[in-house]
Amino acid sequence: MPDLITLLPKAELHLHIEGTLEPEMMFSLAARNHVGLPFETVEAVRAAYEFTDLQSFLDIYYRGAAALHTSQDFEDLMWAYLVRAAGDGVCHAEMFFDPQTHTERGIGFQVFMTGFARARERAGRELGITTGLIMCFLRHLGEPAALDTLEAAAPFFDELIGVGLDSSEVGYPPSRFQEVMGRAREAGLHVVAHAGEEGPPEYVWEALDLLGAERIDHGVRSESDPALVSRLAADRIPLTMCPLSNVRLRVFDRIEDHNLKRLMDAGVKVTINSDDPAYFGGYVADNYRAVQQGLGMSDAEMSQLARNSIEASFLDAGMKAQLLGD
Ligand code: ADE
Ligand code: ZN
């Protein structure tokens, strides 16, 4: 019997497709493409997933993503995620991808966009799930590289709903990315940004005021700035939170310490997501369950969180009403 959490219709809004690469698939892709891996076994890969902070994770995540080479690899990766997400009751997924992780290795947009398009089309047909793609810029590579990436992506703008900002946070403030995000907005793309994961509340202010971010990815560190919490609540800016990620990357010591419920109680539109589920030990329903147990939240609160996810999506009002049963 599926539990309440599985049955709730929900959207996943913070999911890095490269972060869904399970070790088993890493090995099968390496064998198929005749390339080596820096690990001997699936168990050795999992054993390496002991993170001390965001950077310690990113170092391993970028190495894992190097197992992806062909359109078929990207299609298989996204299809496996969408099957898994549909099983968790996800009816709409807005997925991040990191083009620079691939273009830096000589793999062009045509390769991954073809694979993504095939997986998304199949998911619509066979799983009845709608999808969107958000292209993220790697902040550690700086704005000139982000501008080149936006230009390279231009032929594929029709396949994107938005752009985002991810990778190492501290030392790479959103203010450095105003030009590229401004250009993306002019092209009609939505703007979101990772901010306040490890970085200070100032980065969240900058994402809102300088980049025009419509959602903040993570945003947990906003809590230390009451004026910012008021702003997020007043303007109904969604936070796409990823509780299991935050524990694995030591943003919070334990799930019981997570501030999701406090921010929700303060009127912030909070959503639950999985970030990089292959690395953090759980897909989206696992995140909902961990939060419900760890923070002692009611079924009604879980239902509200699922509603928030649909309301915070970039679907049009008609689709939102349909999914919400309004
Ligand atoms: N890329 C993949 N996961 C990320 C995260 N949690 N923060 C920043 N960049 C990421
Ligand atoms: Zn993320």
Within a domain: 265 = yes
Q: What integer is the mean pLDDT of 221-244? A: 98
Q: With 90 as the cut, is the pLDDT of residue 4 above it?
A: yes
Check if 245 has its Cβ closer than 6 Å to any atom of ligand 1.
yes
Q: How high does pLDDT run on average in the chain?
A: 97
Q: Which residues are part of the catalytic machinery? A: 197
Residue 322 belongs to a domain? no
Q: Is the CB of 243 under 6 A from ligand 1?
A: no
What letter would DSSP give residue 210? T
CATH of the domain at 41: 3.20.20.140
Distance 275 CA to ligand 1 centre (A): 7
| pLDDT for residue 129 | 98
Q: For ligand 1, what atom is nearest to the CA of residue 276?
A: 3
pLDDT at 38: 85
Task: Please give the average per-residue pLDDT across 151-157, as a whole number.
Answer: 98
Which ligand has an atom closest to residue 97 CA?
1
Q: Is 100 in the pocket of ligand 1 (CB under 6 A)?
A: no
| Structural domains of the chain, count | 1
Tell me, in angstroms, the distance from the centre of ligand 1 to residue 144's CA: 20
The answer to the question of residue 323 being in a domain is no
What sign does the dihedral 166-170-174-176 (CA atoms) show? negative
Is residue 273 within 6 Å of ligand 1 at its C-beta? no
CB atoms under 10 Å from CB of 22, counted, come to 19
Based on the number of CB atoms within 10 Å of its own CB, is 293 exposed (0-12), middle (13-18) or buried (19 or more)?
Answer: exposed
Distance 163 CA to ligand 1 centre (A): 14
Distance CA 268, CA 14 (A): 17
In a domain, 103, yes or no: yes
**Cα–Cα–Cα angle for 97, 203, 216, nearest 5°?**
45
Q: Is 139 in the pocket of ligand 1 (CB under 6 A)?
A: no
**What percent of the chain has pLDDT above 90?**
97
Q: Are 283 and 250 in contact (CB under 8 A)?
A: no
Q: What is the reported pTM?
A: 0.98
Query: Per this entry, what is the length of the chain?
Result: 326
Q: Please give the residue range of the domain that contains residue 251.
A: 4-317
Q: Which residue in this structure is represented by tokens 């996943």?
A: 12
pLDDT of the residue at 212: 98
| Dihedral angle over CA of 73, 75, 78, 81, nearest 10 | -80
Q: How far is CA 29 from CA 35, 77, 95, 204, 207, in A?
A: 8, 10, 21, 38, 37
Sign, CA dihedral 248-97-274-20, equals negative
DSSP structural state of residue 134: E
Does 325 map to a domain? no
Q: At CA 276, angle to CA 165 and CA 54, rounded to 5?
A: 65
d(CA 12, CA 95): 8
pLDDT at 320: 98
- Report CA 12 to chain centroid distance, whole Å: 8
Structure confidence at residue 1 as a pLDDT band (50, 70, 90): confident
Q: What is the mean pLDDT of residues 294-303?
A: 98
Q: How confident is the model at residue 55 (pLDDT cuts 50, 70, 90)?
A: very high
pLDDT higher than 80, residue 2:
no
Tens-place pLDDT, residues 185-208: 999 999 999 999 999 999 999 999
**Best substitution site from 276, 279, 280, 287 to test ligand 1's pocket, by max atoms within 8 Å of Cβ?**
276
Average pLDDT over residues 94-110: 98
Q: Is 326 within the bounds of a domain?
A: no
Q: How does strand 10-12 pair with strand 90-97?
A: parallel
Report d(CA 190, CA 134) in Å as an integer.
Answer: 8
Q: What is the pLDDT of residue 144?
A: 98
